[in-house]
Amino acid sequence: CGTTGESPTLTYAEHKEIIVTAVKCAGGRVPVMAGTGSNNTAEAIDFTKHAEKAGADAALVVAPYYNKPTQEGLFQHYKAIANATALPIFIYNIPGRSVINIADATLARLAEACPNIAGVKDATGDLARIATLKHLVGDRLVLLSGEDMTMVGFNAMGGEGVISVVSNLAPHLSAKVQRLSLAGEHQKAREAHAPLVPLINALFAETNPIPVKYAAHLMRKCSTHVRLPLVAPSVAVQTSMRAELSALGLI
């Protein structure tokens, strides 16, 4: 349960139910990384313990939003969550939504203090920091991109994958990009990524997940409904989304 899953407008019961449902649907075929973050540490711990009990394979814990903790507060927040579970914890750094940035030094400190902190989902768009993180933590943390547009460059800098929005629509194309880039075939990865660029741009023409849910609706995967305060996409976004999906043969 994250941005694309509209987690801010889920009730606590819905959030927990979705984790259970995802684990059941996966049926062990693929790992399930459950979104268990909150700006309330006790609540994040509760969600994470629930995910562990439900059979999730890892927890993705977003940086606390709105209350803007210090770096020491961030350290204590993640340490408390990690100490409350045996699940691998992936820290989600997305300052564009949470306002705060988790500093490289804080991530390195957490990696040293908490053995089950396994990785970082980085949605800063700052590829240079990947080099810094690799210098600080080596292979201790798995570094995953949180941005579709920079996924090739992210892996080239030492990243190991992506948690993707566009993969909800074109998983086969996104997976091809990852296979090539992780194999060191960066030119081929760029060529495979290029056809996705117009679709990625369309997906973020308005606030995620408004466009991606509309796109999934066009592909007959779900309804267009989003909960307030999100609203339906504009006519312009609807038109561009239909065009980009058609161009890729997805509808």
Domain boundaries, the chain: 7-163
Question: What is the sign, positive or negative, of the torsion defined by CA atoms of 84, 88, 93, 98?
Answer: negative
3-state secondary structure of 117: strand
Q: Which two tokens stand for residue 78?
A: 């993640």
- Cα separation of 74 and 68, whole Å? 9
- Predicted pLDDT at 44: 98
Class in CATH terms, 7-163: alpha beta
CA dihedral 111, 113, 116, 121 (to 10 degrees): -30
- Predicted pLDDT at 101: 98
Over its length of 251 residues, how does the chain's per-residue pLDDT go in tens digits? 789 999 999 999 999 999 999 999 999 999 999 999 999 999 999 999 999 999 999 999 999 999 999 999 999 999 999 999 999 999 999 999 999 999 999 999 999 999 999 999 999 999 999 999 999 999 999 999 999 999 999 999 999 999 999 999 999 999 999 999 999 999 999 999 999 999 999 999 999 999 999 999 999 999 999 999 999 999 999 999 999 999 999 99
3-state secondary structure of 159: coil
- Cα separation of 185 and 190, whole Å? 9
Q: Which residues are within 8 A (CB) of 216 and not within 5 positions of it... i.e. 6 or more apart?
A: 168, 169, 222
Q: Which two tokens stand for residue 180?
A: 């090539």
- Predicted pLDDT at 53: 99
- Cα separation of 160 and 156, whole Å? 9
Q: Which two tokens stand for residue 249?
A: 């043969």
User: Widest CA span of the chain, in angstroms?
Assistant: 50
pLDDT tens digit sequence for 107-150: 999 999 999 999 999 999 999 999 999 999 999 999 999 999 99
Residue 174 phi, psi dihedral angles, 5° rounding: -65, -40
- Predicted pLDDT at 2: 86
- Cα separation of 36 and 205, whole Å? 27
- Cα separation of 178 and 184, whole Å? 10
Q: CA angle 91-125-37, nearest 5°?
A: 25
- Predicted pLDDT at 1: 76
- Cα separation of 222 and 217, whole Å? 5
- Predicted pLDDT at 52: 99
Residues annotated as catalytic (active site), given as ranges? 92, 121
- Cα separation of 160 and 145, whole Å? 8
Mean pLDDT, rounded, of the chain: 97
* C-alpha distance across the termini of the chain, in Å: 26
